Structure 1
Amino acid sequence: MSAPISQPKRGQTNRPLVLAAVMLAMFMGAIEATIVSTAMPAIVADLGGFTLYSWVFSAYLLMNAVTVLIYGKLSDLFGRKPILFIGIIIFLIGSILCGFATSMESLIIFRLIQGFGAGAVTPIATTIVGDIYSAEERANVQGYLASVWGISAVTGPAVGGLLVQYVSWNYVFWINIPLGILSLAGIGFFLHENVEKKKHEIDYIGAFLLTISISSLMFLLVEGGGRWAWGSWQIMSLAVLFVITLGIFVFHEGRAKEPVMPFNIWKERSIFVGNVTSLTTGIMLIGISSFLPTFVQGVMEQSPIVAGFTLTTMSIGWPIASTFSGKMINSMGYRKTSLIGGTALILGSVVFVTMTSSSGPLWAAAGSFIVGFGMGITSTAFIVSIQSAVSWQQRGVATAANMFMRNLGNTIGAALLGGILNNRLANYLGANAGSTNERLTVDSANLLLKENERENLHATVKELLQEGLTQSLHWVYYVVLAFATISLILITFIPKQNRGSA
């Protein structure tokens, strides 16, 4: 590996304060995921449009997934600091607008803006830590960084539930503003970089092809089997567009001077396995965090605060596991550490598959904790392994590639699992609507998410909607279990000789 030609001046950087600012930026991005998941039942109940439920997540995740690689590459070219600044500012603008949304359509548009900025936050923040700490320190420090996702989820669902119940769902977006300002101040004053000044060629064509490819895939997954039949010309056109643009993207990246996605780094087996597994665990994560509050509130008839608690336990397991993961990597290597995490993902998924309306919120919380434990271990192991395998001038895009695969998994998961939920619920209501005198659609599930409307439902209608939602969500969790199994199989291919100290 050649020595880096440009890297941050560690002597001028206040590492503890930069680490604090970076963790704050990551906290802002991480809390957004859990706090919005908790607030979504209230948002849908207020704005309507249950069929657009998954689009609130998909829009954010789409822009996040598309831009993360571009930001990662730009940070290698121009430095971490200016690119992270741009991302945080765009994220804050999107957050302010989301709080003022008056319809699901406008909320989705503002979530696109928010996601456009969020694409810079996590990968560059993680890369900065990889820059300012040595390889020996990195495992433990990345463990602390990964624990931010857990800590944010401890506070996110609880704060989200409190805001929804006692103030307004609008504040789940506005809470980002003070966090972002503090992070900007810390990074601005205490991070100093020395990036070589030279002319760069930005891969605009690659960025455009990537955007079209991922967008067409998301539309295909969200609308397939719902608005458009799987065999319709719209779905077939999207499938063809995805395959063609993906193929051209791969071809182009192999010839670009400074590609958005340098595929040569994927030749390292630990990077390849880590990235592909991040895709499958990303699908799992969004499947649980997006739809668990709906199950707890709509089927178990619990309050938003209780629904938030069931997600909070995921973040309790996450930081605990992240802290252990750094030590485990240095003592037993990436492979054994990741295998332990992969096993936890399967156990947690089994809990969700066996969950019923009578299981109670503690059962849901237990599944969240176990999955969070598995996520904390695997995410830390993957990122430390990847950052140890590349030099400074590729660390930004290598870290971003892993985040991209996780975000792509989130995007695919939100679209795929949202589509499965809508499709199965529509089929169930269509097959069983004869038992009531009312015409029920997927949007009728809105009635279960607000306590006063739920209580006014006829007993037969409520039972039908709850049973339909239960069966539909079980389909979602079976898919989550399948991806947990795939993740564990992939982890077995990590090289045995990998060590955190390597």
Structure 2
Amino acid sequence: MAQDTSTAAAAPGEGQDRRQVRIAIGALALGLLLAALDQTIVSTALPTIVSELGGIDHLSWVVTAYLLASTAATPLWGKLGDMYGRKRLFQTVIVIFLIGSALCGVAQSMGELIAFRALQGLGGGGLIALSMAIVGDIVPPRDRGRYQGVFGGVFGAASVLGPLLGGVFTEQLSWRWVFYVNLPIGVVALAVIAAVLHIPARRTTHRIDYLGMTTVAAAATCLVLVTSLGGTTLAWGSPSIIALAAAGVLLVAVFVAVERRAQEPVLPPRLFGVRTFVVCSVISFIIGFAMFGAMTYLPTFLQVVHGYSPTLSGVHMIPMVVGLLLASTGSGQIVSRTGRYKIFPILGTAVTAIGLLLLHTLDEHTVTWVMSLYFFVFGLGLGMVMQVLVLAVQNAVGYEDLGSATSGATFFRSIGASFGVSVFGTVFTNQLSDKLTDALRGLPVPPGFDPARLQADPNAIGGLPASVKGPVLHAYSQAITTVFLWAVPVAALGFVMAWMLREQPLRGSVTVPDGGETVGVNPVERSSLDEIARCLSLLGSRDARRGLYERITRLAGADIHPATSWLLLRIAHHGSADPVELARRTTVPAELIETAAVEAEAGGYAVRAGNPLVLTASGTALSEQLAEARRSVLAGLLGDWDPAGHAELAALVRKLSAELCGGDTDQPERRPAVRSGSYRAGA
């Protein structure tokens, strides 16, 4: 792991103005919103884009190009930020993203649009990776979980708003506004970042695995081209397809060889010796495959087959996202309370397969409530799997691999999404050609009618006579729903793999990621320390609400009320504390603070210096015992991630101990005034 080259640098959040931090977090969230929206906002505009630009054979590449570019670029941006500072780099990726957005808006052909989407994805990967990392630069570990939760909410909101906004812009303005809307938002984010974001100078030394990143991106591109072009633009046995397939396999082999020698590999080879990582990676690939493959073609089904406007097609997709978010949030709560997680990948993959089967039964006559129900079931299945896989991987690896394993699990979901969109696109194109040919055979078509126009421009269906329009709509319906049938065996493979997952006891510090945070598919490059800080800050604040101070009082062997422990730690942290001011500034009840103040004075632990309380010698000694107890509680949560073996972990535990016991929002639970001696007696 890279060592910090600036030991004198300020700690995260130190010396930062809170108002400016909140404004900066808002600007970072805007940048993240741009990248997250562009994963989904295009889907409802695709039928209209195809009608204007043509090239339905390459429709899937409008989504695939963005996903591939952002996936490949994410780890590179993360490491460059460590080496050269993140503020200017974040401004750079915003500019790249905005240039890509503007060029997408003026594209005059499908080829241009696909190329510009790749440029946009290059910036989008940086927006996601750097925004997450900058939070660690400007926010203390204690508050990091709260702000990462905000970003998780951005991902969740983008998943709901993306299809809806894509429809509104396409219908009310133009499909080009799907891209133009990024420009004013991006300019605002750029200006705010320039004005208020102040990041302490903390650079680290890295050996960037350029060759590994290049080979994995090239291998993925070759294999996606094979699945996209094979059987449509080119025959499966054509020299070009064979060459692409051979190049893809060769590049995978080169990638494996490169990673074995790299000092800081993109994916450490030793991870593939961990059974849980391998199983979760396969399931992640499958979930990405199913999720984005379906999300790309559902708007086409709604707009072409059912004749919904782009806006209404976005509205009809909301049940799927609602199901996804409900299931991810619910499963996270259950896992956190029970410590059992294996059942959710099993149930989730099974429900996903059932959802795909239900989607296959849709046709032009299906009523709205039935479609909404089927979309909800499909989303429910996806939601039960996504975040639990990240949890299982984190729980199965050592501290030194925590960051790589976390980003690796989502990396395979990104690659799966790229393959899913590509494969679904090939199946759809082949099916549509065959179904339209069968549907039009023997029908009285208008003079000069060209059947190929129906594939290039779905809007042309509206001008057909009723006798022809019905069979053509049915052909479109069958072509799209056959895609979902082809995905069922893939989901079934995920179900089989889920049974191979070993359920291991959860480490105390491993907490389920925020439900919304796992909706986005880009692998976010985080260090192991970043992941530990997120987990401990979330668990620490939850623990604080559930008797934290009772635990540390008992561990310190102090015969005082837990509220008194809280007060003594605050005085030690800040130098003094005014009980009246504390009652005004914190959410702790005034009478509980008064009880603690009386006990602190009566026990000789604190004396008045005017109104504020300051510690006596015995109070200082007791507060040190309490602080050590708090550090022990945090260290115990790390399980076999030993702070003694990692200096940075030990420093984090010390810092969190001070912050969690001394901040304004931390508080003891309101309990009856019983001394900890009584707790020990009853234990």
Normalised TM-score (structure 2): 0.65
Aligned equivalent of 1:410: 417
Match of 1:228, as an amino acid? Answer: L
From the superposition, tell whether residues 16 and 279 of structure 1 become closer, same or farther in structure 2 (CA, over 3 Å): farther
Match of 2:495, as an amino acid? Answer: L
Deviations 1:212-247 (A, max 9, x none): 211211111111001111111111111111111111
Alignment partners' CA distance in 2, 1:283 and 1:145: 24
Alignment partners' CA distance in 1, 2:136 and 2:396: 11
**Per the alignment, in what secondary structure is the counterpart of residue 96 of structure 2?**
helix
Aligned equivalent of 1:10: 12
Alignment partners' CA distance in 2, 1:392 and 1:440: 62
**Per the alignment, in what secondary structure is the counterpart of residue 435 of structure 1?**
coil
Aligned equivalent of 2:455: 445
How far off is 1:457 after superposition? 0.8
From the superposition, tell whether residues 37 and 493 of structure 1 become closer, same or farther in structure 2 (CA, over 3 Å): same
Alignment partners' CA distance in 2, 1:121 and 1:247: 30
Indicate conservation of the 8 Å contact 2:42/2:178, yes or no: yes
Q: What pairs up with 1:167-186 in 2 under 5 angstroms?
A: 167-184=173-190
Indicate conservation of the 8 Å contact 1:91/1:116, yes or no: yes
Alignment partners' CA distance in 1, 2:381 and 2:23: 29
Q: What pairs up with 1:128-207 in 2 under 5 angstroms?
A: 145-184=151-190, 189-190=196-197, 192=199, 195-198=202-205, 200-207=206-213
Aligned equivalent of 2:501: 494
Question: Does 2:430 match 1:423?
Answer: yes
From the superposition, tell whether residues 271 and 90 of structure 1 become closer, same or farther in structure 2 (CA, over 3 Å): farther
Q: Which of 356, 363, 381 pairs up with 1:374?
A: 381
Aligned equivalent of 1:218: 224
Q: What pairs up with 1:462-501 in 2 under 5 angstroms?
A: 462-499=469-506, 501=508
Which structure has the larger Rg over C-alpha atoms? 2
Indicate conservation of the 8 Å contact 1:76/1:395, yes or no: no
Aligned equivalent of 2:518: none
**Per the alignment, in what secondary structure is the counterpart of residue 119 of structure 1?**
helix
Q: Which of 312, 325, 329 pairs up with 2:318?
A: 312
Deviations 1:352-401 (A, max 9, x none): 12212111343333333333333334332333454566789866544432
Alignment partners' CA distance in 2, 1:494 and 1:84: 38
Q: What pairs up with 1:233-272 in 2 under 5 angstroms?
A: 233-272=239-278
Aligned equivalent of 1:298: 304
Indicate conservation of the 8 Å contact 1:143/1:325, yes or no: no
From the superposition, tell whether residues 126 and 335 of structure 1 become closer, same or farther in structure 2 (CA, over 3 Å): farther
Indicate conservation of the 8 Å contact 1:84/1:124, yes or no: yes
Question: Which stretch of the first structure deviates more once superposed, 255-264 or 419-428?
Answer: 255-264
From the superposition, tell whether residues 5 and 371 of structure 1 become closer, same or farther in structure 2 (CA, over 3 Å): farther
| Structure 2: runs of 5 or more not aligned | 510-683
From the superposition, tell whether residues 169 and 462 of structure 1 become closer, same or farther in structure 2 (CA, over 3 Å): same
Indicate conservation of the 8 Å contact 2:54/2:457, yes or no: no
Deviations 1:329-351 (A, max 9, x none): 31233323444433442342232
Question: Aligned Cα RMSD in Å?
Answer: 3.4
Deviations 1:383-427 (A, max 9, x none): 345456678986654443233212211111111110011111122
**Per the alignment, in what secondary structure is the counterpart of residue 41 of structure 2?**
helix
Aligned equivalent of 1:321: 327
> How many percent of aligned residue pairs carry the same amino acid?
31
Match of 1:207, as an amino acid? Answer: M
**Per the alignment, in what secondary structure is the counterpart of residue 60 of structure 2?**
helix
Indicate conservation of the 8 Å contact 2:320/2:377, yes or no: yes
**Per the alignment, in what secondary structure is the counterpart of residue 267 of structure 2?**
coil
Alignment partners' CA distance in 2, 1:179 and 1:379: 29
Normalised TM-score (structure 1): 0.86
How far off is 1:209 after superposition? 1.7
**Per the alignment, in what secondary structure is the counterpart of residue 261 of structure 2?**
coil
Indicate conservation of the 8 Å contact 2:33/2:154, yes or no: yes
Question: Does 2:126 match 1:120?
Answer: yes
How far off is 1:108 after superposition? 1.4
Higher relative contact order (CA 8 A, sep 6+): 1
**Per the alignment, in what secondary structure is the counterpart of residue 106 of structure 1?**
helix
From the superposition, tell whether residues 388 and 83 of structure 1 become closer, same or farther in structure 2 (CA, over 3 Å): farther
Deviations 1:55-106 (A, max 9, x none): 2122222212322343344456556655544433322221121112222222
Alignment partners' CA distance in 1, 2:404 and 2:76: 8
Match of 1:312, as an amino acid? Answer: I
Question: Does 2:353 match 1:357?
Answer: no
